[in-house]
Each structure stands twice: as C-alpha cells, then as structure tokens.
Structure 1
Amino acid sequence: MRAPIWIRQHFAAARALLLFTVLLGVVYPLAVFAVAQLPGLQHKADGSYVKAGGRTVGSALIGQSFTNKNGDPLKQYFQSRPSNAGDGYDPTATSASNLGPEDVVDTLPDPRLLAAGKEDENARPSLLTQVCARSKAVGKLDGVSGARPFCTPGGAGAVLAVFGHRTAGGGVPHPTRVVSVNEQQGVVKAPFVGAYHGVKVELAKFGEDYAAGLVVPVKGDAPAEPAVPADAVTASGSGLDPHISPAYAAIQVRRVAQARGVGPAQVERLVNKAKDGRVLGFMGEPRVNVLKLNIALDREYPVRS
C-alpha cells in the first residue's frame, strides 16, 4: 500500500533539503576555502593585508585616510580618494552617495546654530558643492588652482534661482529677481556674480523657498580641464577605493617631497613603482595604490623630526 501523496511530497522535500544543505552548506564552502588556500590566492583570500615595520597597517584593497586627529591632511603623505562609506572607508558601511548630476542646490544651515557653534543636522551640501569644496581644498593643499566649471571662488556650487515670467521654452528672458542659492547671507559677503541679465543677484536667506525659480548653473571662466582631477573630488561607487589616478598623484608630488625634504624626482620614482596598469592590459585605467606608496615613502624617505 502506497503512502498518501502528501506524505510522499513531504519526504521528497525533506530529501531535497538535506541534499542541498550538504552540497551548499558544507561541500561548496569547504571547496571555496580549499581553493583559496592555493599558492598565489591565499594572501588575497585572507584580506590582502599590508604590513610595515612588522605590523599590519591596512589592506591593499581598502582605502584609508592619512590625516591628523583633527581630520587635516598630513602633508608628508599622498592623500586618498574621498569616501562616502560611513565616516570614511568603513567596510561595514560601503556605499555611494546616490547623488546625481542634477543635485546642485544646497539645503542651507540655520545661522543661529552656526553662531552657537553647533551643527545643523538638517543642512546638506549638494553634490556640486561637495565637488567644489573638495576642489578648492585640494588646490590649496597642493599649490594648484582649485577652480573648476560651475563652482564659485569660495567653493560652493555656482547656481542661481531666476524668477520671472517663463517662456514656452522654459527660459526667463526678463528676470525680476535672482538669488545665488548656495551662498548664504551672513556666511559670505557677496554673491559670486554681481548681476544676471541686468538684475542684481541676492544672497540666499535661511528658510526661504526658491523652488519657484528657474535653476541656472553658471559655468564661469574656469578651465574645462581643471588642475584638480575628478577622482580627487568624487567618491568611488563603493567608497573603499584604495587607488588614485596618476594625475592626482602628480599634483601631490611637490608637496610630499617638500614635507620630506627630498627632491620631486625621488618621490616620482616611488609613484611610478606603485603604479598599476590596466587590468589584463585593457580594462580600466592606470592607478596608484596610496597605502603602498606611503609605506614606500616612510621606508626610503622618513620624515625628519
């Protein structure tokens, strides 16, 4: 006498559960672990840790900051790419900012909190302002121009809200009011441009709504190819990228050489040694591993106390 169909179905499901538990829960993980222990793979499987002076100082696969306790860049070290992973390069919070090219208007901070020395948690710089501020900071640190298109000299997004009657094409040929939305009254003295189509430009005021205005980014006269490269002002998709471009490394050479009391050519030699080519010769772009480069600097040209 055959068992009822529902009993046979449950037995079949139990056998399948047992089989896949053994295969995927035991055999497959052990096989992956075994392959990872093969020569040439074990170091990578263990995290690609990098040692210096007999101690582990990081991973070749994860970026890190080279700053002092106040968060200021250490001039004797090459600086990494910006990170949006947690407080920076946090593997448990790997993420991108998810901000796109149309994110150009800041959420301004409450001036009363600023006056009290507090931070406004509701304030948020736009992606454009983040890029502009980073470019200005990198330019100042490395002695190059931090200017870039659509940025104010003060390091904010150069964006206007233009009010007035809009044409069928969406333009405002005769504006009645113009506001520099990312430059706050009381924070900066004057807008980045004095007038727009004959109308005086105002500074933005906290709490005012400028959504009714036409958003107009102003390119300005900065060079189309800024001295500060893109990877110096934008975070990677994971926020953990340990590499920088050769162009970003190049603008840091003089500053690092001066801080270590050596010639730029000596530092350039180490940059070239830390440079990796394209993956398999054709994928991606050449890049420089910042951690390995800084370790080499400490080994060959230690900072004199």
Structure 2
Amino acid sequence: MIKLLRNAIVMVLLMTAITGVAYPVVVGGIAGVVFPHQARGSLVERDGKPVGSSLIGQSFTDPRYFWGRPSATTPGPYNGASSTGSNQGPTNPALADAVKQRLAALHAADPANAAPVPVDLVTASGSGLDPEISPAAAEYQVGRVARARGLDPAKVREVVAANTQGRQLGVLGEPRVDVLALNLALDGLR
C-alpha cells in the first residue's frame, strides 16, 4: 500500500511539473517567438503607450467617437476577466428593456438620425468583448461623429472605409470595422 501511495504522489508531482510548469513555459516561449504581437495581448499603442487591444472592445461614450457593440460583462463594460454574454433570449423582458435603453441613448446622442438602428449597436455579443462593429453600424454613426468633430461626413466615411476589413479569406465572416483603430485614425486627422 505504501508503494502505491508513493507512486501516486510521485506521478502527481511529475504531471504537475510537466503540465503545469514545463508545457506552459515551452508553449509561451514558442508563441513569443512565432507570434510576438499576439503573445503580448495584441496591444495597440499610440506614442509608445498601450491604448487598448485589437481583441477586446473599448467603452466609448463621447459623441466624437464611434461607439462599439454593447458589452454584457460585469462589473464594467469590456471586462476581459468576465467575458460572458447576457444569456438573455429574445423573449426575455430584460433584453427588451436593455435594447430600449440602448436605442434611447443612440437617439439622444443623435436626435436627427431617423435611419434604422443596426442590431449590433443595441445587442451584446456572446463574449461581450467585441472590438468591431458592422459597416452599417459605423454608417449609422457617421453624422453624429462628423458634427461633433466639425468634419465633412464624406471625410469621416473615407476613414471608416480605410478601417473596414473584408471577409477573412474572402468568404469567412462578415465585413467589420475595428472601433478602436477607427477612433484612433479620427484622432490622428489634422
């Protein structure tokens, strides 16, 4: 019995060392060499300082900025440590209330905009961390952003187009606009 117990303890310690220490160090080291940007969190930098990540959305509420997809994470929006959806189905009154509040906020920020609101501006994704919106969601916000910045809407549309990514490999997913990159590009305009 002692021999079996000793073998079990040795095996637990050995597997802990292999799978809990050696494997993560090796994989992390390889990732750092092969994919250095991704291994460091896909950080976006401005003037040598990190301003966000290309994988996690940011909370923008100023009318001068494009707003991303709503986040369902808690305690604050776009909390990477709390990645989750709201788990509210289409018949849940809480989802309907949240959508009404988001619609009201969009209309309050741009009362003259009578265009239909794209669904990704009023519903959170499964992760609650989406860094991108649809081109339709960006187009919906062009007027508000242009007025708030004193820019011609055509110029803002040019910046949106320059920050719109197509389908991956030409067939996967949908076209999308990286909100952080778009807002940084607008900040860079003179």
Give me the TM-score of the superposition, normalised by structure 2.
0.89
CA distance in 2, matches of 1:12, 1:280: 51
Where does residue 274 of structure 1 map in the other structure? 163
Unaligned segments of structure 2, at least 5 residues: none
| Preserved contact between residue 245 and residue 286 of structure 1 (Cα < 8 Å) | yes
CA distance in 2, matches of 1:257, 1:231: 21
Residue 92 (structure 2) pairs with residue 103 (structure 1): yes
Residue 124 (structure 2) pairs with residue 135 (structure 1): no
| Preserved contact between residue 78 and residue 128 of structure 2 (Cα < 8 Å) | yes
In the TM superposition, what is the alpha-carbon distance from 1:140 to its structure 2 partner?
4.1
Where does residue 41 of structure 2 map in the other structure? 47
In the TM superposition, what is the alpha-carbon distance from 1:54 to its structure 2 partner?
3.2
Sequence identity of aligned pairs in percent?
47
CA distance in 2, matches of 1:279, 1:38: 24
In the TM superposition, what is the alpha-carbon distance from 1:132 to its structure 2 partner?
2.2
Aligned length: 188
CA distance in 2, matches of 1:145, 1:136: 13
CA distance in 2, matches of 1:281, 1:38: 28
CA distance in 2, matches of 1:249, 1:228: 10
Deviates more, 1:15-24 or 1:242-251: 15-24
Where does residue 21 of structure 1 map in the other structure? 16
CA distance in 1, matches of 2:180, 2:28: 27
| Preserved contact between residue 138 and residue 177 of structure 2 (Cα < 8 Å) | yes
CA distance in 2, matches of 1:83, 1:10: 49
Q: Higher helix share goes to which structure?
A: 2
Superposed counterparts of 1:167-246, under 5 Å: 227-246=116-135
Where does residue 37 of structure 1 map in the other structure? 32
CA distance in 2, matches of 1:277, 1:230: 19
Residue 68 (structure 2) pairs with residue 80 (structure 1): yes
CA distance in 2, matches of 1:8, 1:234: 59
Q: Which amino acid aligns with 1:43?
A: H
SS of equivalent to 1:256? helix
Give me the TM-score of the superposition, normalised by structure 1.
0.57
Seen in structure 2, the aligned counterparts of structure 1 residues 29 and 255 have a Cα distance that, compared at 3 Å, is same
Q: Which amino acid aligns with 1:32?
A: V
In the TM superposition, what is the alpha-carbon distance from 1:15 to its structure 2 partner?
3.2
- Structure of higher CA gyration radius: 1
Superposed counterparts of 1:107-122, under 5 Å: none
Q: Higher strand share goes to which structure?
A: 1
